[in-house]
Structure 1
């Protein structure tokens, strides 16, 4: 009986070998593009699943583009204002130089000292300006709550109503962004 099984298994193998050869001869090779085109034409061309997959793919592409744009914008913003904290830490130095000049400007004995402090202040401000820092708050300019902080009112007949009459502390702007508002007295005529 075992011989019969072995013979039948052999016959099956002999029969399957020619079928495999025939299948290999009938096999058609398609390029990947041709296969994709055939799939689009014949496999579910009006299927909702295919449309949903297309929509998801388009949404994913749009999301990735938006992410790239946002990261680029945030990187540029970070680069633009990276020096803000250092520059804001240097502002008290400018304030102290201004204070030294205001106290010693009328003393003849300090004439050379005042000239040295003034030169240092100008050099320091030029250096800060090269990094995008600008001073705001000048007597006579129109009061702007975006750049000025009103400390009180003053009456100066030579100035128009609502303009800066006195600067108590100069303000600074870095590339359009306010770092410190100017503390000012606003002119108020009766």
Structure 2
């Protein structure tokens, strides 16, 4: 049927062949086309994109959810371990902050000990000087003890312990047992339980 130019359609428009086209029908077809495109787009998603969508709204029993939860828990555990390690290192740094300074002060104690070790046959005037040196040593030792420095146990007749003693030589004394300390050459020190310097000793070997 040919299209009459004077005719005005009531419910629609003419198509190219002169037929009246229903707008509602056209709209319905347009919606169907849109839905088909959306369905095609959903089908064309990659596995990674589908996994990402699944993680956003996934059921607790899904394998993807379990994997995501496992990753989250591992990340939390790693974060907690790092936090604990940093806290431990900070506390240890504070505890032994003065280690290098106290280590530099040890030669002063060594020289005072050496001076007091050679006091035989001195005059009365020199003995008074020795008393002053001994008092200075005690005051100095008390000061460093307040910062956690303590002397390593080492005395003549004590058993040699390689953990805290450093053998610088051997002697033979019948009055001492084997592997006992015969002489303390240099005192050793600990700082808050940590060995700062081992005691240097002569060990008896029979």
TM-score (norm 1): 0.73
- Contact 1:169/1:182 (8 A) holds in 2: yes
Structure 1 CA distance for aligned equivalents of residues 120 and 89 of structure 2 = 46
Is 1:175 aligned with 2:182? no
| CA shift for structure 1 position 142 | 1.2
Match of 2:76 in 1: 61
| CA shift for structure 1 position 59 | 0.6
| CA shift for structure 1 position 159 | 2.5
Structure 2 CA distance for aligned equivalents of residues 153 and 45 of structure 1 = 73
Return the structure number with greater helix share: 1
Match of 2:90 in 1: 75
Q: Structure 2: any 5+ residue segments left out of the alignment?
A: 1-22, 24-53
Structure 1 CA distance for aligned equivalents of residues 62 and 136 of structure 2 = 76
**Which one has the largest radius of gyration?**
2
User: How well do the aligned residues superpose, as a CA RMSD in angstroms?
Assistant: 2.2
Match of 1:110 in 2: 126
Match of 2:5 in 1: none
Is 1:155 aligned with 2:172? yes
The alignment covers a number of residue pairs equal to 152
Q: Structure 1: any 5+ residue segments left out of the alignment?
A: 1-7, 9-38
TM-score (norm 2): 0.68
Counterparts in 2 of 1:114 and 1:105: CA distance versus 1, 3 Å: farther
Structure 2 CA distance for aligned equivalents of residues 141 and 103 of structure 1 = 23
Structure 1 CA distance for aligned equivalents of residues 120 and 108 of structure 2 = 18
Structure 2 CA distance for aligned equivalents of residues 99 and 61 of structure 1 = 57
Query: Match for 1:95 among 106, 110, 113?
Result: 110
Match of 1:50 in 2: 65
Match of 1:28 in 2: none
Structure 2 CA distance for aligned equivalents of residues 77 and 45 of structure 1 = 43
| CA shift for structure 1 position 101 | 1.3
